Structure 1
Amino acid sequence: MIMTWQTGLAGFLAGLLISIVTSPAGVSGAVFLLPVQLSVLHVPNPAVTPTNLLFNVVSGPGALARYRRNGQLTGPLARLMIAGSVPGVVLGAVVRVFAIPGPRTFRLVAAAVLLPLGLWLCARALRPAAVDRPALSRRTILGLSLATGTVGGVYGIGGGSILGPILAGRGTPMTRIAPAALASTFVTSIAGAATYGVLALTTDGDVAPHWPLGLLCGAGGLVGGYLGARLQPRLPEKSLRLLLGALATALAVLYLVQGLTP
């Protein structure tokens, strides 16, 4: 892939704008950056996944710095999510390279994961009388982190962006979910990007990340993530849950259409 200055600028702006919208809900901008990379920036498969993970590594500190300044990175939730997601994302990287290299299957798998999560969270956010279920146990969070980390390694978004909607639907406040999910995404993306780097040394094809584009997208996400995290305390809980569900649903529909189109 040959990158022009127009492609680099488009990547920077995409990372900036997407991260402003997604970081208040605890979702990495990589969730929506991936279709931009596939359809607009034309990053080849499966290199698009490690490029997305590289974006997370560069962009993550922006939002995390703001959340730390707000005192929102305390508590065990982030540590539990990281402990389960790191081995999961390594496994997901192996699955992505050897079992799901093509873009069509990849999009259908992503849609199957995100669509039910998004619809469930939107339904709960739109029902004012709905009572949140009891919070999940530490063991359950650890197990879910492993599962969602594996999916996140395949998808290129870490694991926090998938586990976030589950925790929100169970009643965990968004002020706890957002910083923990982004911290998990940041750490697991480092592990995932490193795994893809090792696989690139032993596997043929476009496995390594596209470094210039990933860095430029990440630079935009670094600024956008900080701005989005700054907005988060000013947004109502119900709106954040609805935003998180709507983002997951919209992305799932997009991938479903793309995956089913010849």
Structure 2
Amino acid sequence: MEWTIWAGFAAGLLISTVTAPVGVSGAVFLLPVQLSVLSVPSPAVTPTNLLFNVVAGPGALWRYRRDGALRGPLARRLVAWTLPGVIAGAAVRVFALPGPGVFRVLVAAFLLPLGTWLCLRTLHPTCVRSNAHGPSAPALAALALTVGMVGGVYGIGGGSLLGPILAARGMPMARIAPATLAATFTTSLAGAAAYAVLALVSPGPVAPDWLLGVAYGAGGLVGGYLGARLQPHLPETALRLLLGTLAAALGALYAAQALL
């Protein structure tokens, strides 16, 4: 058991250091570690991911707040609309998608197009119109609500989807990253609470693995702070390509496993 705690801490630290500069908590990349290495059962893997976001989130957010990057209405709007979506997604995950086979399909369907899209948008930046203001208020509300629901099903809080979508709309990364991490933290807090309640009325491993979730989060707390601090000094293009390639590769792996 001790080695799993240290493995979880190391995974959270490394992943968050890389993903925090682009507004992603890193929970999306913890899924393979949980399912394939540490054998966390499904659907407990989803609330464990949300617990990671809750524990890890303040590290990057504190640094971004200290730098003044959390000012502005974007973070408030994302939080307001992703919050109800993630609660609905938690209910869907427990009562409609409990099996690991279906979950692998969901993982592949999310990661493969996300990674491919991120790589293409990074390699062809001329395809993206510069738009510092991003989507209109109604479009942003619909997007955040939908992403929140997907995030509740998937256990990622929604920031992993919001970041690439807003970046593809031409918004600057320095504005996107703090806002999507704030939305991820808030919705993950609500999602983890929803799973804790659903665990009382649903059979099977629905509650999070508290020990592993806190171990992931402790590593993510340190890694998120480091990533946020390093953001101004890191090449954004290289980071986006790295994230996109990794997401697409993981999506392809889960798609192959689902077909076997």
| TM-score when normalising by structure 2 | 0.95
Identify the residue that residue 124 of structure 1 maps to in structure 2.
121
1:114 to partner: Cα distance: 2.9
- Taking the aligned partners of 1:25 and 1:257, their CA distance within structure 2 comes to 28
Task: State the secondary structure of the residue aligned to 2:200.
Answer: helix
Identify the residue that residue 165 of structure 2 maps to in structure 1.
166
- The 1:205–1:170 alpha-carbon spacing in structure 2 relative to 1, beyond 3 Å, is same
How many residues were matched structurally? 258
Structure 1: runs of 5+ lacking an equivalent: none
- Taking the aligned partners of 2:156 and 2:81, their CA distance within structure 1 comes to 15
Letter in 2 for 1:224: G
Letter in 2 for 1:103: P
Task: State the secondary structure of the residue aligned to 1:42.
Answer: coil
Identify the residue that residue 42 of structure 2 maps to in structure 1.
45
Task: State the secondary structure of the residue aligned to 2:187.
Answer: helix
Identify the residue that residue 209 of structure 2 maps to in structure 1.
210
- Taking the aligned partners of 1:233 and 1:53, their CA distance within structure 2 comes to 27
1:78-227 residue pairs with structure 2 within 5 A?
78-132=75-129, 134=131, 135-227=134-226
**RMSD over equivalenced CA pairs, Å:** 1.4
In 1, are the aligned partners of 2:46 and 2:155 still within 8 Å (CA)? Answer: yes
Once the two structures are overlaid, the 10-residue window that deviates more, 13-22 or 118-127, is 118-127
1:240 to partner: Cα distance: 4.0
1:116 to partner: Cα distance: 2.1
Identify the residue that residue 253 of structure 2 maps to in structure 1.
254
Identify the residue that residue 74 of structure 2 maps to in structure 1.
77
Task: State the secondary structure of the residue aligned to 2:127.
Answer: coil
1:65 to partner: Cα distance: 0.7
| TM-score when normalising by structure 1 | 0.94
In 2, are the aligned partners of 1:117 and 1:245 still within 8 Å (CA)? Answer: yes
In 1, are the aligned partners of 2:12 and 2:30 still within 8 Å (CA)? Answer: yes
1:84 to partner: Cα distance: 1.1
In 1, are the aligned partners of 2:128 and 2:169 still within 8 Å (CA)? Answer: no
- Taking the aligned partners of 1:136 and 1:243, their CA distance within structure 2 comes to 26
Once the two structures are overlaid, the 10-residue window that deviates more, 17-26 or 104-113, is 104-113
1:86 to partner: Cα distance: 0.6
Letter in 1 for 2:122: A
Task: State the secondary structure of the residue aligned to 1:86.
Answer: helix
- Taking the aligned partners of 2:130 and 2:251, their CA distance within structure 1 comes to 25
How far does the alpha carbon of each residue in 1:115-149 deviate from its partner, in whole angstroms, 9 at most, with x for none?
Answer: 22321221121125334264311211111111011
Structure 2: runs of 5+ lacking an equivalent: none
1:48-63 residue pairs with structure 2 within 5 A?
48-63=45-60
- Taking the aligned partners of 1:100 and 1:109, their CA distance within structure 2 comes to 9
- The 1:163–1:247 alpha-carbon spacing in structure 2 relative to 1, beyond 3 Å, is farther
In 2, are the aligned partners of 1:88 and 1:153 still within 8 Å (CA)? Answer: yes
1:108 to partner: Cα distance: 1.0
- Taking the aligned partners of 1:131 and 1:93, their CA distance within structure 2 comes to 33
- Taking the aligned partners of 1:258 and 1:95, their CA distance within structure 2 comes to 23
Task: State the secondary structure of the residue aligned to 2:52.
Answer: helix
Once the two structures are overlaid, the 10-residue window that deviates more, 250-259 or 202-211, is 250-259
Once the two structures are overlaid, the 10-residue window that deviates more, 122-131 or 238-247, is 238-247
User: Aligned residues: percent identity?
Assistant: 68
- Taking the aligned partners of 2:247 and 2:171, their CA distance within structure 1 comes to 18
- Taking the aligned partners of 2:144 and 2:157, their CA distance within structure 1 comes to 10
- Taking the aligned partners of 1:128 and 1:93, their CA distance within structure 2 comes to 35
- The 1:136–1:247 alpha-carbon spacing in structure 2 relative to 1, beyond 3 Å, is farther
Once the two structures are overlaid, the 10-residue window that deviates more, 57-66 or 236-245, is 236-245
- Taking the aligned partners of 2:125 and 2:144, their CA distance within structure 1 comes to 28
- The 1:93–1:130 alpha-carbon spacing in structure 2 relative to 1, beyond 3 Å, is same
